[in-house]
Structure 1
Amino acid sequence: MGARTLIIVSSADLMHEALIEKSQTFVTRPAETPTRTVFSSNKFTVNSAVYGPVWRSLRRNMVQGMLSTSRLREFRIVRESAMDRVVNRIRNEAGSNDGAVWVLKNVRFAVFCILLSMCFGVEMDEVTVERMDEMMKKVLITLNPRLDDYLPMFSPFFTKARKRAMEVREEQIRTVLPFIEKRRSFLRNPDLIKSKTVSPFSYLDTLFDLKIEGRKSAPSISELVTLCSEFLNGGTDTTATAIEWAIARLIENPKIQVQLYDEIKSTVGDRKVEEKDVDNMEYLNAFVKELLRKHPPTYFSLTHAAIEPGAKLGGYDIPTDANLDLYLPPVSDNPTLWTNPEIFDPDRFFMGREDADITGVKGVKMLPFGVGRRICPGLGMAMLHINMLVARMVQEFEWSACPTQSPMDFSEKFEFTVVMNNTLQAVIKERT
C-alpha cells in the first residue's frame, strides 16, 4: 500500500494464532501517520501506545481506575438519567413528526452524554453536549487517511491539509481544556462536588497525577486532552451504531421484538428496566451477541505489529514494520464456523445450538472488540450500554418501519464505524 506493507488476515485460525497463541509477539502497534501522531500526543493513548511501560500504565489506569465493575456501578444514576433523556427526546420528536424518529442521532446523544459525565464528572446542557460532539466528529474526520500517508512523495501537495489538521488540534485543545480546568477546580474545592450535577469521581481524576513507568512527570495538558478524547470517541459511535442496527433488526423481525418485550415484561413488570435486570434476560443477551456477530462495529480490528524480528504467522515471516490488519467479516460470516451465518438468528445463542467466546480465548468465531492482550478495555461498559439501551427502547416503544424505508435496507457503508447505508428512520408507538 504505497510505501507501507499491509498484511491482511481473514482466517479465524490465523487470528487466534496471532493474538492468543502468540499474543506477546504481535502485541504492539505499527508506526502512525504524522497526523495521528499529533492527535495521539505521540502515541500516548491506550489504543495507540507501543507495547511497553506507557501502554501498561495507561491501560491499567483505565481498566482498574475507570472501567472495573465497581467503578461502572458508581455511574448508574448517570446512565439512568441519560436514558430517560433519550426516551423523552424520542417521544418529543415522534410527537411532532407523525411518530417518526431518527434512531442513530438520538441514541448517539444518550451515549455521548454518559461518556461526558464519566470523563469530566459534570452533567452538561444539550447545547454544550452537541458542541463537544461536533468537535469530536471533526477530529475523527481529520484523522481519515490521506494519500500522502501511504506515499510520502506526495506530501508537498497536502500542505493545506496538514495545516488544517493542526488548526483542528488547536481547536480540540481549546474546547476540552476548560472542562479539564473546571474539574481540577472542583477537586480543589470538595464542597462543590456535593452538587447534584457534579460527580464525586471521573476519569479525569485518575489522570491528573497518573504515574507512568519510566516518566517523572504527570500527563501534560495536551496529553490529558488526548486521553479524554480517546475515552469519548472510543465508546460513542461503536455503541450508537450497534443500537441502530438493533432497531433495524427488530423492525425486520417483529417476532424477535415481541419475544424481547415479553422477557422484559416478565422480568421487571411495570417498573423501568434496571442494570441489575439485564443479566437475567437470556434472550436479550442472545440478541445482543447475535447483533455483534452480524454487525461488528468496524471491518478491521485495530492494527497490530510484530514486536521483534523473526516473527512468524502461519509459517510466513512478518516484518516488524508491517501493518497486521484483521479483516472481520469473513470470520462472522464463515459457514464452516456458523450455521446459516447470513441469517440473523438470536436463537442460535438462546437455544444453545451455537456459542462463541467473545474474548477469543477458546477460539475466534467473532471479535467485535478484538481479542488478546489488546482487547478493547471498554468491552464491559459497551455490553452494558448496548443491553440497557436495547432493553429501554423495546420497553418504552414498539418499533416499525417508516413508509419511506420499507422494505428495510441492510446495505452498509463505512464512516467512523460500519453504519447503515441509509440512516434509519423508524416509527414508534408508545407501549401501554
Structure 2
Amino acid sequence: MSLLSFPLTSFNISPSLFFTIISTLVSAFVILFLTRKSSNSKRVNLPPGPPGWPVVGNLFQFARSGKQFYEYADDLREKYGPIYTLRMGSRTMIIISDATLAHDVLIQRGPMFATRPKENPTRTIFSSNTFTVNASVYGPVWRSLRRNMVQNMLSSTRFKEFWSLRRSAMDKLADRIKSEAGENNGLVWVLRNARFAAFCILLEMCFGIEMDEESILKMDAMMKKVLITIDPRLDDYLPILAPFYSKERRRALEVRREQVELVVGFIERRRRALRNPGTDKTATSFSYLDTLFDLKIEGRKTTPSNEELVTLCSEFLNGGTDTTGTAIEWGIAQLIANPEIQSRLYDEIKSTVGDRAVEEKDVEKMVFLQAFVKEILRKHPPTYFTLTHTVTEPTTVAGYDVPAGINVEFYLPGINEDPKIWSNPKKFDPDRFVSGKEDADITGVTGVKMMPFGVGRRICPGLSMATVHVHLMLAKMVQEFEWSAYPAGSEIDFAGKLEFTVVMMKPLRAMVKPRV
C-alpha cells in the first residue's frame, strides 16, 4: 500500500527532539548547498507544483495545513491541474488525476510504469524485503508471485470451489447481525460485521483450516497491529532523521516477531493436515498456502521461507478484508440515505430469488445490484490513491519529464468525479449504469473512467474476488434486513478519512429490522 493511503496530518514531536531535528535539517541544507551542481546542469522539466523549502520540500506545508492528504492533494489539483509535482522530503511525487493520462501511462505504456519505488525500512520488515505481489519490483519475483496467485488461486474455476464457504459466511453474517441487534435494541455496527465476514472467508481460503473465534480475533488484532506499526513517520520522508526513530524501529521488529510467531503456528497446522490427511477434521481440500509451499520463483533456487509465507498470507488477508468491509459500509450508508434505492434493490432480489436465500449465481441476473455496486466503487473507491508506480526508465508524460525512481501517484476522485466524463458526478446515482448512457470498464482495458482497483499490469489481482464478495454480502444484508438511520430521521454524514482504506469519519451504526 502506498504511503499516501495513510493519514499523515500531524507529527508528535517533543520540543527537544524538534530542536535537534531542525539543527539536523539546517546542517543537511548547508551540505546540499555546498555540494549543489552548477546551474549549467540540465534541469529536469517536472510538472508544475507548489514551491517548497530546501530539504523538506512541501512536507511541513502539508503538515501545517491540518488537512488529510487527499484534501491537500485536491486543493493542489484545483490550482495546478490534472498533473502536478509535490515534494515530500526525499520523495518527489507526480500526481495524476486525469483519465486520458492514466490510460496512456498504465495501459498504453503499462510495462514502463509497472514497477514500484523503494519501500521505507519499516515496511520492508513486514514485506520480507518486498516479497509480495503488490510491493515487488517489476521483474521475475513479481511475475512468479502474481502468476501463482491468479492462476492457482483466483482463476474462475478455482474460485468457484469456495462457494460453500461463502454461503456459510453469509449465513453467519446474518446471524451475527441478528444477535447484535437483539442485544442492542436493533442497533448494529456495520463495518465491524462486514469486516469480520470478509476476514473469515479469506482466512479459510488462505490457510485451509477452520479457526475458532478466539483464533480469528487474534489474527485480526495482529493484522491491525501491523498496519498501525507501518503508519508513516517523519523519517519515512526524511531518512536523515532515522537515528531519532530507533525506538520505533525496535518496536516494529518486535511486532514482526509476534506476527511471525502467530502466523507460523497456522502454517504448520496446514502442513500437518497435508502430510496426514484426515487428522484435522476442519481442513479443506485446497488453500492458498498449498500453492506457496513448493512455489518456484524465477531466479531463485529455494522455495519461500516461513517468514516469506507469513508475508504472502498477510498480503492476501489485508488486501481483501478492509477493502470489502469499507465498500459495504459506504453501500449501507447510501441505502439508508436513499430509501428508494434500498426498496428497489430489495424488490430486485425478491423477484429474482423469491423466498429462498440469495446465492452468488443470482448476482449475475441482478442488473440494479451490479449498477449499485459499480456506483459505490465510483463514488467511494477503497482508496483515494492507487498503489504507487514508478518508471523502469526515464520518460515523459504530457510533455513533462518523469525521471527513474520518482513516485507516480493517481488521485482517483479526480477521475471518478470528472464532469468531462460523468454527468452530475457528485450525485450518487446507480441508474447511470442502468440506462446505458454511462458505463465504465473497471479493468481499464476499453478505456479509463474509474479505476478503484488500479488498471494495467499492476491491477489488483483480487478484483473479481472482491466484487463477488461485495455483491453477495450486500444482497444478503438487504434480503435479510431493512436498514435505517440512527437516531431515527438523522442524516448520514458522508465525510471520510484515510486509514488503510477510506472509511467513514463517523463509523456507521444503523438500525436493522428483519424482513418478514
1:5 aligns with 2:89: no
The alpha-carbon deviation at position 85 of structure 1 amounts to 1.0
Equivalent residues in 2 for 1:118-137 (5 A)?
Answer: 118-137=205-224
Stretches of structure 1 that go unaligned for 5 or more consecutive residues are none
Alignment equivalent of 1:46, drawn from 125, 133, 138: 133
- Structure-1 residue corresponding to 2:231: 144
- Structure-2 residue corresponding to 1:170: 257
Partners of 2:273 and 2:419 lie apart in 1 by 55
Deviations 1:358-378 (A, max 9, x none): 111222111000000100000
Aligned with 2:113: secondary structure?
coil
Alignment equivalent of 2:297, drawn from 199, 208, 212: 212
- Structure-1 residue corresponding to 2:378: 293
Equivalent residues in 2 for 1:4-403 (5 A)?
Answer: 4-192=91-279, 195=281, 197-308=282-393, 310-403=394-487
TM-align CA RMSD: 1.0
Partners of 1:152 and 1:51 lie apart in 2 by 24
- Number of corresponding residues: 429
Deviations 1:19-42 (A, max 9, x none): 001101101001100011111111
Aligned with 2:111: secondary structure?
coil
Partners of 1:192 and 1:276 lie apart in 2 by 33
Deviations 1:113-163 (A, max 9, x none): 000000000111111111100000011111111110111111111011111
Select between 55-64 and 1-10 the one with higher mean Cα deviation.
Answer: 1-10
Deviations 1:176-205 (A, max 9, x none): 000000000111012236x3x221000000
Partners of 2:91 and 2:441 lie apart in 1 by 33
Contact 2:173-2:193 at 8 Å conserved across structures: yes
Deviations 1:323-356 (A, max 9, x none): 1111111111111110000100000001212001
Q: Supply the AA of the counterpart residue of 1:206.
A: T
Partners of 1:406 and 1:157 lie apart in 2 by 47
- Using structure 1 for the length normalisation, give the TM-score: 0.98
Q: Supply the AA of the counterpart residue of 1:137.
A: K
Q: Supply the AA of the counterpart residue of 1:223.
A: E
The alpha-carbon deviation at position 405 of structure 1 amounts to 8.1
Larger Cα-atom Rg: 2
Partners of 2:293 and 2:489 lie apart in 1 by 48
Change (3 A) 1:405 1:131: farther
Partners of 1:399 and 1:192 lie apart in 2 by 44
Contact 2:270-2:283 at 8 Å conserved across structures: no
Q: Supply the AA of the counterpart residue of 1:220.
A: S
Partners of 1:191 and 1:127 lie apart in 2 by 23
Aligned with 1:186: secondary structure?
helix
The alpha-carbon deviation at position 76 of structure 1 amounts to 0.9
Aligned with 2:427: secondary structure?
coil
The alpha-carbon deviation at position 407 of structure 1 amounts to 1.0
Stretches of structure 2 that go unaligned for 5 or more consecutive residues are 1-87
Contact 1:405-1:425 at 8 Å conserved across structures: no
Aligned with 1:24: secondary structure?
helix
- Structure-2 residue corresponding to 1:427: 511
Select between 391-400 and 3-12 the one with higher mean Cα deviation.
Answer: 3-12
Partners of 1:20 and 1:396 lie apart in 2 by 41
